[in-house]
Amino acid sequence: MIKLIALDIDGTTINSKEELSMRVISAIRKASDQGIKIVFASGRPYSGIYPLLKKLKIKENYSISFGGGMILDENGESIFEKNISEDSVVRLINLAYKQGVPLQFEGTNEIYTTNKLLPVYFARVSTRVNLPIRLIDMHDIGKYTFFKGIMYGRNEQLTNVIDEMNNQSKETLQEFNFSKTASDVLEISPQGISKGNALKIIAKKMNIASCEIMAIGDQENDIEMLKFADVSVAMGNAIDKVKKIANYHTSSNDEDGVAKAIEMFALKQEG
């Protein structure tokens, strides 16, 4: 019996127009009404998750933001968080400059960058997660808290970033967790941070076993979460890495894939 459903947001729960379809809304509401816990597990900060919860009109449960860097309980209180250290932020900024890729960091209330020329992608992210962008100076980094970094560039540029980190010292490499969330987007979190680890924390607190959890996702940063859940579902638009490790496949996010998976594996319990 499914007691908890962990849902990625972008490319999964919302369609390519960044909207919740009526079928997805209906399926999630029915699952919630059935007593199934709905946990959004996103790379977004909570400011980008809350509007979806408000539209769904379901009882709030735990939420995973910053790709696992923060967990909020049903009252919106933080029960876990881990940010990127100041020294690590400096190293990432220097690496981004060397590779010629824009870099931004996300906090709970703002997006931060040292790039004076902002790529269009930064503005899109700002709108999507409802956070303003603040241009900061290298000397002021210690004044802010960064939970996640995002590099944006061509696939080969981001590959070079990962290769350079792999060629550096073991100690430096152990600072970060790199995850491609699109061909042109690389997300950086502190080492050990993942949606999977966050989901394990929530499951333990709620006394829910992995065999009672369904997880649905489409990108590299969903893999650890999918591995933890016994019912792991890859979207039709998921990357090959995700499809290979998932137990089941559903339709794309433009074909109500999340709704179909919920109807198949959770709502069938209605009898």
CATH architecture of the domain 86-190 equals 2-Layer Sandwich (3.30)
Could you write out the DSSP letters of every residue in the chain? ---EEEE-IIIIIS-TTS---HHHHHHHHHHHHTT-EEEEE-SS-GGGTHHHHHHHT-----EEEGGGTEEE-TTS-EEEE--B-HHHHHHHHHHHHHHT--EEEE-SS-EEE--SS--HHHHHHHHHHT--EEE--GGGGGGS-B-EEEEE--HHHHHHHHHHHHHS-HHHHTTEEEEEEETTEEEEEETT--HHHHHHHHHHHHT--GGGEEEEE-SGGGHHHHHHSSEEEE-TT--HHHHHH-SEE---TTTTHHHHHHHHHTGGGG-
pLDDT at 162: 82
Report the CATH fold assignment for 4-81+193-270. Rossmann fold (3.40.50)
pLDDT tens-digit map of 76-109:
899 999 999 999 999 899 888 888 899 999 999 9
Lowest mean pLDDT among 19-33, 98-112, 171-185, 197-211: 171-185
Average pLDDT, the chain: 92
pLDDT at 177: 86
**Which pLDDT band, with edges at 50, 70 and 90, does 32 fall under?**
very high
**Which pLDDT band, with edges at 50, 70 and 90, does 120 fall under?**
confident
pLDDT at 31: 97
Q: What is the pTM of this model?
A: 0.93
Higher-pLDDT residue of 61, 195: 195
**Which pLDDT band, with edges at 50, 70 and 90, does 164 fall under?**
confident
4-81+193-270 against 86-190: fold identical? no
Residues 6+ apart with CB under 8 A from 75: 60
pLDDT at 270: 44
pLDDT exceeds cutoff 80 at 67: yes
pLDDT exceeds cutoff 80 at 30: yes
pLDDT tens-digit map of 222-248:
999 999 999 999 999 999 999 999 999
Q: Where are the domains of the chain?
A: 4-81+193-270, 86-190
